[in-house]
Amino acid sequence: MSKLLICDPVDASAIDEMRAAGIEVDVRDDISQEALSSIIGGYDGIVVRSRTKVGAALIDRATSLKVIIRGGVGLDTIDVAHAKSKGISVQNTPAANSNAVVELALGMMLTLARHVTRADAGMKAGKWEKKALEGTEIAGKTLGVVGYGRIGQMLGEKARLLGMTIVAYDPFVEHPDIVSLDALLAASDYISVHVPLNKETADLLDAAAFAKMKPGVILIQASRGGTVNETALYEALVSGKVAGAGLDVFTEEPPKSEAVLKLAALPQVVATPHIGAATAEALERVGGEIVTLAKAALA
């Protein structure tokens, strides 16, 4: 019987279905990297999400491993090339999380446009700050989507229904919405980032990029930490060049550096702990795709 290790939370019904298919499933969804390294050799497959990192050193200890399944979109937490060099298949569930991430991005845009978190904090503190909380409407504004894959295009479709004009940047996609990055930065009232982290996208939005943006732009970062330069973003927020930011991902997770904690603490920032895919519906969809992948590889 093939053995599968669940390293991060997976829907319980998916686990039951894999066991019913004859796979021996061990659930260790809070396992540390150190503990994982010590037991990985005993498993034919592992399931990870964004928390667990699968680097070359771990792969070298995985002497029986046939498949790594990433419950989610990105594979930047896995050394895919090294895994494939060892004959290990790397699979993911790219479609399952898309709607959840899109809804969070839209929610952040609306929250920042109407100062919802600041208004809520004031009410909880016994304050009535109505005059200081005049907001704006997203209808009639231009949304620039950086990265126009599955998530980016879904965001564009939904934002268009809310009355927004869409422009997008993606060197790998042909679409009528596509413009150059400089054109997007100059035109956008809102910018939402949806790219993987790699050598081409690291610090894609840096100080030079912020200088090209409209004054008062609002930035949403729900892709991968490291694609937006956090120091440059902090300076742009403090100067007023960027009016607000919604941040769900960070270069270091959880953030520990004083600079990033200062960024998250700014009143014009809405910060969340990488919850883009954390909905009951997305977890169920991810689980279903994991079952299909695990059965194909191990059952």
Residues tagged active-site: 224, 253, 274
Instruction: Name the token pair of 170.
Output: 């993606």
Q: Give the whole-angstrom CA distance, residue 101 versus residue 86.
A: 33
**Contact assessment for residue 227 and residue 209, using Cβ atoms and an 8 Å cutoff:** no
- Give CA torsion, residues 289, 292, 293, 299, to 10 deg: 150
Instruction: Name the token pair of 89.
Output: 């298949």
Which residues, in sequence order, are CB contacts of 170 under 8 Å at separation 6+?
146, 147, 148, 149, 152, 178, 195
Instruction: Name the token pair of 250.
Output: 């960070």
The count of other CB atoms within 10 Å of the CB of residue 198 is 13
Q: Which DSSP helix (H) or strand (E) runs through 145?
A: strand 142-146
Instruction: Name the token pair of 284.
Output: 């169920």
Q: Give the whole-angstrom CA distance, residue 25 versus residue 33.
A: 19
Helix segments in 25-133, DSSP class H: 33-39, 56-61, 80-85, 98-113, 116-124
